[in-house]
Amino acid sequence: MLTLIKKIFTWWNQDTFGTRLKTIFFGKFIGKDKLGNKYYENKKGNRWVIYSDEIDASKIPIEWFSWMHHTPNNIENKHELKKYDWQKPHQPNLTGTKNAYHPNKEKNEIKKKYKSWK
């Protein structure tokens, strides 16, 4: 019951009730990425994504990002894009999390060769 209420009134729990209805009646399933996000398109050419867990636009990999914005790529040809050894795997935006980058994370300050005025 609580899950149904969350679906009706909150948009941050994957999708709302209206989005679910739109997907069922008008959406054509296009594909799924490695993170579990599902991509849909309707007959008019509108495209949308249903996220696997929490909604964050930075969780869309680059090949699907270009598909969402109508930029031609290999996804539309149903080919898997070749990943090279030097390419890092896609990561969502980590700002505000424990894994965010901090230049002085370990608290080991660099010794300055000068003293600032007080």
Task: Show pLDDT as tens, one digit a residue, over the chain (118 residues).
Answer: 666 676 666 665 667 777 888 888 999 999 998 889 999 999 999 999 998 877 888 888 888 888 888 887 655 555 456 778 888 887 888 888 888 887 776 666 666 777 778 7
Q: Which of 54, 88, 47 is nearest to 68 (CA)?
A: 47
Distance (Å, whole) CA 61 – CA 45: 20
Radius of gyration of the chain (CA): 21
- Host H or E run for residue 40: strand 38-41
